[in-house]
């Protein structure tokens, strides 16, 4: 099995899971520095003039809170909304510690006045989690997301449409938690993400039909989870041995964990996931040709990553023929095959590389290695040369990037559907 190795140091991949625009998906982005902050519906705030400063708003909300406490007491149910407003105002000023303190008080009051199972906690939790992510308090994020999932499970049936979004959110977080190596057994997050993405796909299928294109989103997450499982390290204690009798002879029998079984099945599972996506796209009354091309490319890339070269290039050729049949201007071909593409090429992963050194990278004084290499017809990297490092002459960084490239697979440049050699590809590899 040939696969890129996943490394938080050298492979330079960052999980950025984000929901697509389906009816139940929130706009959340699981990035290394937290996610975009959700905005609740704030009845007072939306009526205020945009020229009023955040500090003025803080003073207004603090005054409103003090007035309610004076007239109705410190446990008035009217305090929750004002505290939420105040917390969001702190949040927008990047005063996340104050925001967290305020949201926690709002949660406490909400539970007292409306009960432990009240769904009105959800917008407070969303904002609390956003501020925790902004401060990279990952263990607390994990705890609050688990509580939010429990809250949904107490209010909605496990097979209801209301569980679609929370399942997706939890699934994406599981991928992020794995990338952060949270907990004593980070691989468990990957197992959990597989379960949650499957549940999400089933829930969407039950609600909208198994051929609805919204099913594709959790399938994409499931495919990424399979890739990460395939490349994850296995702890020795996850494999145990016991003595067994066989034809009068004592032998050792290996007991493989569920995670390891998933690892062994990652290739065929990935094929099933991608083929299901292709089937869904093929059943749509209005054909989305770019989406179909991307799905077919995903299938070819998956085969190539696992060393199934003959099958992979047959699929690349089929993609080329599909483009010829459905794109008279050949724009797909020009965009997709003009240069080698590092694999895996998933939307939920970003490669921390750049062809050019940006002004932002220069200003931030980022560490990087600039390398030149060839990509042959099989997607293998050859003739690696380190052109520059920053800081200069950093042998440790150079060595890591060279080792990474030697173990990397690229989708080769294709011409008329056939792979060709690409010489002197130049990339900057940033090391954070």
Say whether pLDDT at 36 is over 50. no
**pLDDT tens per residue, range 295-310:** 999 999 999 999 999 9
Q: By CB neighbour count within 10 A (0-12 exposed, 13-18 middle, 19+ buried), where does 362 fall?
A: exposed
User: Residue 28 — very low, low, confident or very high, per pLDDT cuts 50/70/90?
Assistant: very low
Architecture of domain 13-237+254-296: Alpha Horseshoe (1.25)
- Judge whether 186 and 155 are in contact, CB under 8 Å: no
Residue 51 confidence (pLDDT): 41
Q: Quick one: DSSP state of residue 238? A: G
- The percentage of the chain sitting over the pLDDT mark of 90, rounded to a whole number, equals 64
Q: Which residue from 229, 414, 243, 235 is spatially nearest to 338, judged by alpha carbons?
A: 414
Which of the pair, 34 or 361, is modelled with greater confidence?
Answer: 361
User: Residue 242 — very low, low, confident or very high, per pLDDT cuts 50/70/90?
Assistant: low
Say whether pLDDT at 325 is over 80. yes
Residue 16 confidence (pLDDT): 39
**pLDDT tens per residue, range 157-201:** 999 999 999 999 999 999 999 999 999 889 999 999 999 999 999
Residue 351 confidence (pLDDT): 74
Which of the pair, 60 or 359, is modelled with greater confidence?
Answer: 60
182/31 Cα distance (integer angstroms): 15
| Joined tokens for residue 96 | 């996340």
In angstroms, how far is CA 297 from the centroid of its own chain? 20
Q: What are the DSSP calls for 305-361, one per residue?
A: HTT-HHHHHHHHHHHHHHHHHH-TT-HHHHHHHSS-EEE---TTEEE-EESS--HHH
Q: Where in the chain is the domain with CATH 1.25.40.10?
A: 13-237+254-296
């Amino acid at each position: 099995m040939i696969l890129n190795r996943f490394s938080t140091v050298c492979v330079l991949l960052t999980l950025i899971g984000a929901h697509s625009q389906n009816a139940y998906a929130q706009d959340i982005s699981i990035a290394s520095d937290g996610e975009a902050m959700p905005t609740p519906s704030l009845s007072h705030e939306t009526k205020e003039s945009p020229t009023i400063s955040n500090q003025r708003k803080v003073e207004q909300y603090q005054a409103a809170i003090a007035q309610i406490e004076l007239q109705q007491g410190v446990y008035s149910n009217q305090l929750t909304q004002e505290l939420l407003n105040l917390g969001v105002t702190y949040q927008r000023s990047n005063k996340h510690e104050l925001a967290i303190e305020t949201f926690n008080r709002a949660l406490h009051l909400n539970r007292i006045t409306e009960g432990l199972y009240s769904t009105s906690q959800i917008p407070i939790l969303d904002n609390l989690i956003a501020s925790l992510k902004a401060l990279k308090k990952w263990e607390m994020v994990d705890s609050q997301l688990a509580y939010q999932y429990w809250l949904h499970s107490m209010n909605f049936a496990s097979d209801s449409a209301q569980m679609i979004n929370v399942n997706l959110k939890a699934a994406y977080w599981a991928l992020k938690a794995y990338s952060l190596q949270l907990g004593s057994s980070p691989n468990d997050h990957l197992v959990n993400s597989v379960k949650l993405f499957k549940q999400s796909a089933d829930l969407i299928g039950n609600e909208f039909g198994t051929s609805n294109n919204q099913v594709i989103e959790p399938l994409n997450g499931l495919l990424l989870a399979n890739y990460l499982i395939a490349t994850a390290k296995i702890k020795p204690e996850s494999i145990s041995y016991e003595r067994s009798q066989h034809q009068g002879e004592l032998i050792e029998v290996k007991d493989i964990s569920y995670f390891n079984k998933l690892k062994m099945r990652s290739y065929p599972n990935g094929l099933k996931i991608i083929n299901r996506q292709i089937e869904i796209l093929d059943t749509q009354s209005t054909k989305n040709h770019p989406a179909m091309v991307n799905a077919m490319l995903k299938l070819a890339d998956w085969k190539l990553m696992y060393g199934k070269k003959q099958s992979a290039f047959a699929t690349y050729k089929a993609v080329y023929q599909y483009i010829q049949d459905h794109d008279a201007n050949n724009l797909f071909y020009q965009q997709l095959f003009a240069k080698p593409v590092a694999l895996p090429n998933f939307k939920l992963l970003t490669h921390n590389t750049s062809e050019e050194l940006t002004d932002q990278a220069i200003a931030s004084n980022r560490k990087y290695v600039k390398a030149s290499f060839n990509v042959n017809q099989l997607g293998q990297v050859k003739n690696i040369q380190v052109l520059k490092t920053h800081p200069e002459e950093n042998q440790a960084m150079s060595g890591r990037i060279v080792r990474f490239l030697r173990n990397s697979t690229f989708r080769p440049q294709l011409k008329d559907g056939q792979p060709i050699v690409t010489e002197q590809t130049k990339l900057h590899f940033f090391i954070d």
